[in-house]
């Protein structure tokens, strides 16, 4: 292309990069957005194929009510394109949960509407009938909701496990929080920052959780990038960044196979480690900062199975499966990496046809199921996890399994191919 000078350059078209580029262009900043793939969305990629529309991995937005993306849509002038597929005021049963306590033989399975701040559906799930235990659980939830924001930063360096040791809570509450750390953040309860998990729980209790969009999460990126181009922004797909150009200690552009592009501002949405360790050439960033980035421990991966059903048998939006034995803390994760083969896994599953009647051909449905795994694309545990996921589907939801006409599998290798250089 002829133009190679811009006011700003954004690397990556995931939701963060797409939002940044659209907001900059809307505010009069001449912006270039580069994406290494031929599609938009980054890790939030959605698939449209054979009459189906679904995400590659299960997602549920928190908060459901008034998310930040709605503010972006409104500011850049596309509020009329906002298509949230579920509202937290919806009184239908939207989630089916299956939980097994360590000393139970079978899972307890219940379906419910959005629980929000009402703990009673969880008391039913956990069979937590003792009023004293219920009171302890509510006191813990109240503390999470009422901690002043100016005190939350103090919890950045405290794990959720250590935070919960301050409270006398039933083990069922701890087990749920351990599951939640895995399913929502892909981290262990003894590593995740208490501040991060508490903020997510607050959003869920006050504004709902499990939000989705007609067409999947990649619709967000597509809408924002479409508006970005309408406003005069420049998008280049299939444009892999070789390196960020740094002169006199400042980022001034990017070098790509399409040539060199310059701007006084460069925003990378490629991730902190790929940016600092690959896109910025050695010797540019301070050595102590590079060492800090190298030591950052990445979150775990998520592996998924997509079930394509030949008839409608699912009547809720989400399915959750966990037991006291299936979530991973760091010790359990390390045991799996060392060769232990778990008999159970957690499951978070999204029924796209609940959110969008056009997500599957008439009379059919699609379910995207996922569980935690190592982030290593070459890890050998993935196929075993898939077999356990299928086994639990047979045992807990035989009607879904019986209606399944085909399955697709994906894991960290696919994500790495899509989003990493």
Claim to verify: residue 273 and residue 337 sit in the same structural domain? no
pLDDT at 1 over 80: no
pTM of the model: 0.92
The answer as to whether 110 is a domain residue is no
Total domains in the chain come to 3
The answer as to whether 102 is a domain residue is no
Q: Model confidence over 169-215: pLDDT tens digits?
A: 999 999 999 999 999 999 999 999 999 999 999 998 888 888 888 87
Of these ranges, 19-28, 46-55, 371-380, the one predicted with the greatest mean pLDDT is 19-28
Per-residue pLDDT, averaged over 127-134, amounts to 98
pLDDT at 419 over 70: no
The answer as to whether 196 is a domain residue is yes
Claim to verify: residue 319 and residue 415 sit in the same structural domain? yes
Claim to verify: residue 287 and residue 311 sit in the same structural domain? no
Claim to verify: residue 408 and residue 305 sit in the same structural domain? yes
Claim to verify: residue 251 and residue 306 sit in the same structural domain? no
Claim to verify: residue 152 and residue 128 sit in the same structural domain? yes
Domain CATH for 179: 1.10.405
Claim to verify: residue 308 and residue 415 sit in the same structural domain? yes
pLDDT at 416 over 70: no
Claim to verify: residue 130 and residue 187 sit in the same structural domain? yes
The answer as to whether 405 is a domain residue is yes
> Cα separation of 19 and 30, whole Å?
14
pLDDT at 32 over 60: yes
Claim to verify: residue 403 and residue 313 sit in the same structural domain? yes
Q: Model confidence over 306-357: pLDDT tens digits?
A: 999 999 999 999 999 999 999 999 999 999 999 999 999 999 999 999 999 9
The answer as to whether 93 is a domain residue is no
Claim to verify: residue 308 and residue 371 sit in the same structural domain? yes
Among residues 269, 295, 321, the one where a domain terminates is: 295
Claim to verify: residue 73 and residue 222 sit in the same structural domain? yes
Among residues 295, 314, 332, the one where a domain terminates is: 295
Q: What is the pLDDT of residue 61?
A: 82
Q: What is the pLDDT of residue 267?
A: 98
The answer as to whether 407 is a domain residue is yes
Domain CATH for 262: 3.50.50.60
The answer as to whether 92 is a domain residue is no
pLDDT at 298 over 90: no
Claim to verify: residue 291 and residue 192 sit in the same structural domain? no
Per-residue pLDDT, averaged over 210-222, amounts to 85
Q: What is the pLDDT of residue 108?
A: 98
pLDDT at 48 over 70: yes
Domain that holds residue 413: 301-419
Among residues 295, 313, 344, the one where a domain terminates is: 295
């Amino acid at each position: 292309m002829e133009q190679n000078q811009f006011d700003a350059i954004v690397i990556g078209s995931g939701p963060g990069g797409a939002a940044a580029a659209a907001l900059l262009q809307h505010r009069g900043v001449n912006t270039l957005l580069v994406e290494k793939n031929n599609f938009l969305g980054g890790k939030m990629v959605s698939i449209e194929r054979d009459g189906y529309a679904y995400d590659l991995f299960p997602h549920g937005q928190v908060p459901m009510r008034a998310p930040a993306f709605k503010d972006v849509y409104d500011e850049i002038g596309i509020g009329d394109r906002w298509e949230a597929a579920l509202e937290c005021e919806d009184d239908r049963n939207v989630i089916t949960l299956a939980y097994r306590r360590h000393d139970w033989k079978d899972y307890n399975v219940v379906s419910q509407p959005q629980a929000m701040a009402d703990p009673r559906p969880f008391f039913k799930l956990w069979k937590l009938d003792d009023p004293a235990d219920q009171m302890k659980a509510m006191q813990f939830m109240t503390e999470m909701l009422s901690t002043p924001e100016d005190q939350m930063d103090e919890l950045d360096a405290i794990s959720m496990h250590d935070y919960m040791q301050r409270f006398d809570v039933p083990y069922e509450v701890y087990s749920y929080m351990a599951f939640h750390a895995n399913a929502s953040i892909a981290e262990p309860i003894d590593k995740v920052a208490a501040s991060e998990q508490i903020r997510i729980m607050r959003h869920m209790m006050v504004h709902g959780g499990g939000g989705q969009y007609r067409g999947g999460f990649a619709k967000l990126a597509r809408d924002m990038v479409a508006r970005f181009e309408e406003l005069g922004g420049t998008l280049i797909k299939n444009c892999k960044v070789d390196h960020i150009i740094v002169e006199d200690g400042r980022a001034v552009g990017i070098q790509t196979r399409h040539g060199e592009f310059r701007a006084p501002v460069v925003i990378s949405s490629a991730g902190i480690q790929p940016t600092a360790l690959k896109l910025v050439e050695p010797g540019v960033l301070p050595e102590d900062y590079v060492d800090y980035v190298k030591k950052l421990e990445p979150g775990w991966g998520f592996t998924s199975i997509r079930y394509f059903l030949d008839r409608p048998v699912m009547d809720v939006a989400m399915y959750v499966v966990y037991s006291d034995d299936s979530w991973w803390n760091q010790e359990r994760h390390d045991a799996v990496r060392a060769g232990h083969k778990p008999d159970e896994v957690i499951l978070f599953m999204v029924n796209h046809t609940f959110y969008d009647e056009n997500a599957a051909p008439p009379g059919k449905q699609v379910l995207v199921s996922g569980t935690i795994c190592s982030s290593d694309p070459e890890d050998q545990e993935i196929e075993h996890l898939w077999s356990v996921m299928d086994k639990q589907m047979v045992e807990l939801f035989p009607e879904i399994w019986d209606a399944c006409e085909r399955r697709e599998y994906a894991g960290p290798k696919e994500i790495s191919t899509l989003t990493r250089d």
